[in-house]
Amino acid sequence: MKKHNYSAGPCILPQEVFEKSAQSILDFNNSGLSILEISHRSKDFVAVMEEARALVLELLGLEGKGYQALFLSGGASLEFLMVPYNLMKVDGKAAYLDTGTWANSAIKEAKHFGETVVVASSKPENYNHIPKEYSIPTDASYFHCTSNNTIFGTQMKSFPTTNVPLVCDMSSDIFSRVLDFSKFDLIYAGAQKNMGPAGTTLVVIKEEILGKTGRTIPNMLDYQQHIAKESMYNTPPVFPIYASLLTLQWLKNLGGIAAIEKINEAKANLLYTEIDRNPLFKGTAAKEDRSNMNATFLLENEAHQEKFDAMWKAAGISGLAGHRSVGGYRASMYNALPIESVQVLVDVMQELEKNI
């Protein structure tokens, strides 16, 4: 039986994506060949890459606005260093907002390249909120933020207006809510949280911000090289890109980001309402900053843990354990998680209340 999969990443994808991508391994486009055994330069795969890159820009509303979409490798973690390599001016500085473990990792990599200004941090409160009062140095090469903090269950509900390029790690909430994506100059996201399997990273860049650092960049780490080679500078991760394309097609057929946003809001509302109502549970993130993707919560009384764990496991729920730095539980409600799965969890929480 299919589980109710709350895994934080890699995570649940639409069932039709599993089915179609499985079929492509056996016989891709009725070619008599597997997608795993054809050239990435073949007509069939080039078409996949072209459609995926175009569909990303279409879904984000960035067509014809000077942006390029790339499917790279190395995870979001490689972008932590590709961003400063490509954007931080020699002898310049970069500004970062520290809202969680991933933001912190990005800051550490930037420090290898030059002065890294942390404009605000919620680390002293174990990242339970998003700092809102800060100013961005006007001479920074860029400002970097993390839209959704996967581990701590917080999400930026608004983004600063600034004269410097705006860079955002959207790994865990890309394609989940409507934003004015044209406010951003560079967006990156590891595929495995909301778009596809692990193995590829989406990077969306406003081309005009590139080539201004005065640095010599090794080809593999140079966004301009990847753009010039149409995201095929080297052999791309063909299967993760194909599965990502299938997810993007699924999203488009559903009505795009505006449609999935409504569903995501309904799921998050359902769960947070229960967390707040049920006296056995409490949320860990500041209410105004709660993530619609990852809901983090604790049992008020740890003595109930064994019982609760047995109950949700018996209900077919998987992947609910919290990250070790927060403890408790984390319900990741990415795009492909159906609202029925959230109802199953809420029912178990109410069942526990009745049984205590």
Residues contributing to the site for ligand PLP (CB under 6 A): 9, 75-77, 102, 146, 150, 169, 171-172, 190, 193
Cα-Cα end-to-end distance for the chain:
29
Which one of 89, 173, 185, 193 is the catalytic residue? 193
Closest contact distance (angstroms) between CB of 168 and ligand PLP is 10
What is the 8-class DSSP label of residue 304? G
- Whether 27 is a known active-site residue: answer no
Closest contact distance (angstroms) between CB of 259 and ligand PLP is 23
Closest contact distance (angstroms) between CB of 170 and ligand PLP is 8
Question: Minimal CA–CA distance to 323: which of 22, 7, 99?
Answer: 7
Rounded to whole angstroms, the Cα distance separating 265 from 291 reads: 10
C-beta of 75 vs 327, nearer to ligand PLP = 75
Binding residues for pyridoxal 5'-phosphate: 76-77, 102, 150, 169, 192, 234-235
- Whether 169 is a known active-site residue: answer yes
What amino acid occupies position 77?
S
Question: Minimal CA–CA distance to 230: which of 43, 17, 6, 69?
Answer: 69
Which one of 169, 173, 222, 289 is the catalytic residue? 169
Site of tokens 């209900």: 315
Which one of 102, 173, 185, 312 is the catalytic residue? 102
Binding residues: 41, 76-77, 102, 150, 169, 192, 234-235
Return phi, psi of residue 195, to 5°. Answer: -130, -30
C-beta of 308 vs 334, nearer to ligand PLP = 334
- Buried (b) or exposed (e) across 160-191, using 16+ Cβ within 10 A? bebebbbbbbbbbbbbbbebebeebbbbbbbb
Binding residues for L-glutamate: 41
Strands 115-121 and 93-98: parallel
Closest contact distance (angstroms) between CB of 189 and ligand PLP is 8
Question: Minimal CA–CA distance to 17: which of 326, 334, 355, 342?
Answer: 334
Closest contact distance (angstroms) between CB of 41 and ligand PLP is 26
Question: Minimal CA–CA distance to 235: which of 37, 24, 35, 40?
Answer: 40
C-beta of 174 vs 348, nearer to ligand PLP = 174
- Whether 312 is a known active-site residue: answer no
Catalytic positions, written as ranges? 102, 169, 193
